[in-house]
């Protein structure tokens, strides 16, 4: 292998790494949700793409997304990820630390729900169009991966049964 090829491969592999040391917990990107209550405050840690939390294209530390987005979310004890719907894409949650109660809501009547408790290394995939919410039911912070199956997802909507219904980003 020539020096040129090695250099190109070094550049390639370096461009594909997002290290823990270069990540920040962004408590501001979803801070608008705290208008509905402090329990909705949580941090996003972006790795690939910006997910559905808004426009973070100016952040050069985020690896470009081609087919999916990948981030971590930190949810404090008792914290809630409010009921929301991704109409365009499935979303997966993979638990790294703590315990989450994940709930899916009936599309027609959001008061009808089914919930499951997830812990370390458990995963749930929620299909597009199905409202979902989650809550940290553990004794410490919950840390979990969020994978969204498209390069640039639409912003989620908040059904009438969601505490975020009518809350704006302004």
Name the residue ranges covered by the structural domains of the chain.
23-148
Determine phi and psi for 120, rounding to 5 degrees: -45, 125
Instruction: Indicate whether 142 pLDDT > 80.
Output: yes
pLDDT at residue 168, as a whole number: 85
- Looking at the DSSP assignment, which residues form a beta bridge with residue 72? 45, 145
Distance CA 136, CA 79 (A): 5
Distance CA 35, CA 14 (A): 40
Distance CA 170, CA 167 (A): 9
- CATH class for the domain made up of 23-148: mainly beta
Instruction: Indicate whether 4 pLDDT > 80.
Output: no
Structure tokens at 78: 């008792």
Q: What is the pLDDT of residues 101-125, one digit of tens each?
A: 999 999 999 899 999 999 999 999 9
Q: What is the pTM assigned to this prediction?
A: 0.91
> What totals of helices (H) and strands (E) does the chain contain, helices first?
1, 9
pLDDT at residue 110, as a whole number: 85
pLDDT at residue 159, as a whole number: 93
DSSP state of 140: S
**Residues 72 and 144: beta-carbon distance below 8 Å:** yes
Q: What is the pLDDT of residues 68-89, one digit of tens each?
A: 999 999 999 999 999 999 999 9
Region 119-141 average pLDDT: 98
Instruction: Indicate whether 13 pLDDT > 80.
Output: yes
């Amino acid at each position: 292998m020539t020096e040129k090829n090695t250099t190109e491969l070094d550049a390639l592999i370096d461009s594909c790494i997002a290290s823990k040391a270069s990540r920040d917990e962004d408590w501001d990107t979803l801070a608008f949700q705290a208008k509905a209550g402090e329990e909705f405050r949580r941090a996003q840690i972006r790795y690939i793409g910006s997910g559905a939390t808004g426009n973070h294209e100016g952040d050069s530390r985020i690896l470009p997304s081609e087919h999916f987005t990948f981030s971590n979310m930190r949810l404090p004890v008792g914290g809630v990820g409010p009921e929301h719907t991704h109409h365009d894409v499935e979303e997966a949650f993979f638990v790294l630390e703590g315990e989450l109660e994940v709930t899916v809501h009936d599309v027609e009547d959001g008061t009808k729900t089914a919930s499951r408790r997830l812990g370390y290394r458990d995963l749930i995939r929620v299909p597009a169009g199905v409202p979902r919410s989650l809550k940290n039911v553990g004794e410490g912070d919950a840390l979990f991966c969020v994978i969204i199956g498209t390069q640039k997802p639409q912003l989620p909507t908040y059904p009438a049964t969601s505490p975020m219904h009518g809350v704006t980003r302004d």
